[in-house]
Structure 1
Amino acid sequence: MTERYLGTPAMPSAPDGSLTGPVPEHLPSRLAVCLWDFSWYTRAGSGEPFEDVDRAMAESVDRGFNAVRICAAPLLVAGGLGLDDLASGLPVEGLGAAPTGGFYGQRTRWYDAPGGYRLDVRARLFELLASARRHGVVVILASWEYQQSTSFAADPRWFETIDAVPLQRRYDVLADAFGRLLDEIRVAGLVDVIAFTEVHNEVDFSILPPLEGGGVAAIERLRTRHPDQLVTASYGKPPHLAMHRLPAGLDVAQFHVYSYGVLDALQRRIDIRSEGTEGFPNHELRALLRADAPAFGEYGRPEPWKLDATVITDQMVYGYDWIDAGRWDAWLDDHYDEYREVMLREIESRVIATAEWARWRGIPAVVGEGWVGYTPRDGWFEEGTAGLALAEHGIRTALEHGVWGVVPGSNAAPHHPMWREADWMRRVNRTITEAAGG
């Protein structure tokens, strides 16, 4: 009997757990990332999660995090766009008061910001960086300004000013703002706290041209100005089936891995992410609403400029504000088995694709957001048995393939109900920070 030759596999039989690319020696060998996003300044009112930024930092460390990822609002605090008065006294409003009482976004994630205070964003940013230094935490700087940050202000001037920047110049303006901001951070003696800088969050889901349209050149200019810093941009949905389309020139492969699966099936069924749908809400959505839900027309919508400044729609605001979270979760639980294997495989394949692209480029990889998707604030599917299993599968796969940094989940942060699941966070963050191969 002769041995049959079955070819040579394109991938090694065992994953390579060593880092996909080198990281500066002063930074942690693995990052357990907490997604503070823009909420550190939009949820900083009295009694809110970020009223005391040092307390929020201490709570993050207690849960095992050693990195936080933030919107540093560079265009506001260092953009040179005539917004200094807002940077030192931003009137935080959220999406505004609703006619039926309360405020728009009151039961959404991220948009559940009641506002009602002014904040010196510039001063608070440096307070955050100093707190990170004291607690041994590194900070990932990014911007959400061309995605949603500006919608939380009571004054539209921040949005109107950056929106007036021609599309093809926006990466240049962002890079120049980050250059000035990093100058200030360096003068303050805090530059070693910065893990890396993203010129913008999710460039593929923001009011920006493709990264190739000036973004790579802007990144290079920022890197030249601060050669000791890692500079990149992040993608909300990198082209996992055609990674060769991503441009070279990124210092970190910071990609997001969401597997909507059963969640997408529900969203399509109730048409919650569209706008201008005739007859909204449909029968399927009405069956999931709270008993006290007002009519869509009665509820109204945030000011038009606020919706222009965000990636969400009036249908989303209404739907998430008035959905019955128990009914929402029950539908997902009832249908999850139909999507379970696909969701597990999708998370695995996307993590591997991005990690292998990073290894090919010789740069570190980070999963800065994941794993299921956008759910109502009080929904518990992603935080329940199924969601945690998906998250742990993603984390395990990331570490096995040499990913430098990873989130336990996008909802694992001080401004989400999941924050009370401290023991789970401690356990998975220990898995991340103690991983071999770093």
Structure 2
Amino acid sequence: MSKLTITLWDFTWYSRTGPGEPFQDLDRAFTEAVARGYNTVRICAMPYLLFGSGLDTSALTFTPFGRGYGLGTRWYDVRGSTTLDGRAHLLALFRAARRHGCQVIVSSWEYQQSSSFLGDPAWYEALRAVPAERRANALAEALADLVDFVAGHGLAEQIAFVELHNEIQSTWLTDALSPGESRVLGLRPYLEKAIDVFKARHPGTPVTVNYARVPHAEMRGIPANIDVAVFHPYVYGVLDELIDTFALRDTTVPFPQERARRELLRPDAPDLREWHPEQQWRSAATVVPAREVYLHDWCDPARFDRWLYDRHAAYRYGMAERLRIWIEVAADWAAARDLPLVFGEGWVGYTPLHGTFEEGPVGAGICLDAVEHARRVGAWGTVVCSNAAPHHPMWADADLQVTANALFAGQR
């Protein structure tokens, strides 16, 4: 199999298509991707919205969150409203992929945040209305319909493989589990049944799920019937310290507002309690905590980066070892089952839009180390970095991406 050099276009390929936005012109986005050494894009194909919800998708309007909310974050920084025909736009992407010799990894972020970008809550409400124990099957059925649709237009060969959902243990599919039940182990029977549903209709299309980080202590929870082993090795390390220090993901702990002002925030930052989107339902429609959005929106990116750099030395070895070990664990698990291995996201973690820790010398080094590890263990596909895509500043560093992709493809 030819190596997959992957750029992560997620849901942005439809949420940011307005004038001046990075996906206004799909051909231009693909041209730039190919010039950087990519041959594969990974997307949220909005399968449930387009093929399972029953909603009219001929005029979907995607809008900013309002009040400037999210404009300092990655992925949420929608700048203007745009209206498009969902199915027609999906075909446009596949046709552009064919023109540029690229493949598409078809995934879904719907049970995490995709619906938050629509101008009204209909998509979010349709997703939540599906009983928790039925959600995996509903996604499988919608994805099978999507493949039928793409195949009906002669474009099925552009599909590299299908993912039931992104980072499965961090989704609302876990609503089906009992309190305290392992998200990896508990989801396995639901996922295996859903994968069988998809395979019954498309036995020739590889299908899988993927996992945030590498669930090294619970690999037995990964479905036995997947066709591709996909993991997202975000190592965090020093970024974990920042997240814990400012309680960004633990709402049981008071947010340290004054410390955040002293160490990270811009002087004009409002208090956390004052920062929210115009429509409150949007906060419920995303798994990203409001605290994390607030800090990314209102931090001074230079102070944020400096906070990480000041502490990085204590974590450098541990982060490098975690990355190596996780990649080797993932490779060993895949090899034992004779499955191709893909790293569809990684490497440090979620940082502000204008933070440069992952784009700078430390982050670039981590990217090259990760890609070299992926090449060494024989992975089928990898990203250069999750931030290497048209909607991130890192896209401008074409040299790094060309170098990393050539390294992975064995050309260097």
TM-score bucket of the superposed structures, by smaller chain? over 0.9
> Which 4+ runs in 1 deviate beyond 6 A?
none
Report the CA distance shift for 1:168/1:285 in structure 2 as closer, same or farther (over 3 A). Answer: farther
1:56 aligns with 2:29: yes
1:46 aligns with 2:23: no
> What displacement does 1:197 show?
0.2
Where in structure 2 are there 5+ consecutive unaligned residues?
175-185
> What displacement does 1:276 show?
6.5
Residue 54 of structure 2 aligns to which amino acid in structure 1?
G
1:36 aligns with 2:12: no
Structural mapping, 1:85-124, within 5 Å: 85=56, 87-94=57-64, 96-98=65-67, 103-124=68-89
Residue 107 of structure 1 aligns to which amino acid in structure 2?
G
CA contact (8 A) 2:247 2:254 kept: no
Structure 1 partner of 2:269: 293
Provide the C-alpha distance between the structure 2 equivalents of 1:258 and 1:285, rounded to a whole number of angstroms: 27
Provide the C-alpha distance between the structure 2 equivalents of 1:168 and 1:399, rounded to a whole number of angstroms: 38
What does the per-residue CA deviation read over 1:112-168, in whole Å, with 9 as the maximum and x for residues that have no partner?
Answer: 113422121211111000010111101000000001000011110000011100000
Provide the C-alpha distance between the structure 2 equivalents of 1:278 and 1:142, rounded to a whole number of angstroms: 35
Residue 7 of structure 2 aligns to which amino acid in structure 1?
C
C-alpha RMSD of matched pairs (Å): 1.6
Structure 2 partner of 1:192: 157
The more displaced of 207-216 and 384-393 is: 207-216
Report the CA distance shift for 1:426/1:291 in structure 2 as closer, same or farther (over 3 A). Answer: same
The more displaced of 107-116 and 318-327 is: 107-116
> What displacement does 1:302 show?
5.2
Provide the C-alpha distance between the structure 1 equivalents of 2:255 and 2:284, rounded to a whole number of angstroms: 23
Report the CA distance shift for 1:367/1:142 in structure 2 as closer, same or farther (over 3 A). Answer: same
Q: Which of 172, 185, 202 is equivalent to 1:207? A: 172
Structure 1 partner of 2:96: 131
Where in structure 1 are there 5+ consecutive unaligned residues?
1-22, 24-28
> What displacement does 1:280 show?
4.3
Secondary structure of residue in 1 paired with 2:6? strand
The more displaced of 115-124 and 152-161 is: 115-124
Structural mapping, 1:27-426, within 5 Å: 29-79=2-52, 81-83=53-55, 85=56, 87-94=57-64, 96-98=65-67, 103-209=68-174, 210-275=186-251, 277-278=253-254, 280-301=256-277, 303-426=279-402
Q: Which has the higher contact order (CA 8 A, sep 6+)?
A: 1
Secondary structure of residue in 2 paired with 1:303? coil
CA contact (8 A) 2:73 2:293 kept: yes
The more displaced of 172-181 and 220-229 is: 220-229
Residue 86 of structure 2 aligns to which amino acid in structure 1?
V
Secondary structure of residue in 2 paired with 1:118? strand
What does the per-residue CA deviation read over 1:359-413, in whole Å, with 9 as the maximum and x for residues that have no partner?
Answer: 1111100000000000000000011111111111111111111110000000000
> What displacement does 1:279 show?
5.3
CA contact (8 A) 2:248 2:255 kept: no
CA contact (8 A) 2:66 2:277 kept: no
Provide the C-alpha distance between the structure 1 equivalents of 2:411 and 2:190, rounded to a whole number of angstroms: 37
Provide the C-alpha distance between the structure 2 equivalents of 1:115 and 1:340, rounded to a whole number of angstroms: 39
Report the CA distance shift for 1:73/1:300 in structure 2 as closer, same or farther (over 3 A). Answer: closer
Q: Percent identity?
A: 45
What does the per-residue CA deviation read over 1:58-85, in whole Å, with 9 as the maximum and x for residues that have no partner?
Answer: 1101110000000000011111x221x2
Report the CA distance shift for 1:223/1:435 in structure 2 as closer, same or farther (over 3 A). Answer: farther
Provide the C-alpha distance between the structure 2 equivalents of 1:146 and 1:273, rounded to a whole number of angstroms: 18
CA contact (8 A) 2:208 2:229 kept: yes
Residue 403 of structure 2 aligns to which amino acid in structure 1?
R
CA contact (8 A) 1:31 1:432 kept: no
Provide the C-alpha distance between the structure 1 equivalents of 2:20 and 2:394, rounded to a whole number of angstroms: 18
CA contact (8 A) 2:113 2:287 kept: yes
> What displacement does 1:342 show?
0.2
Provide the C-alpha distance between the structure 2 equivalents of 1:275 and 1:151, rounded to a whole number of angstroms: 21
Report the CA distance shift for 1:364/1:279 in structure 2 as closer, same or farther (over 3 A). Answer: closer
> What displacement does 1:301 show?
4.6
> What displacement does 1:433 show?
2.3
TM-score when normalising by structure 2: 0.94
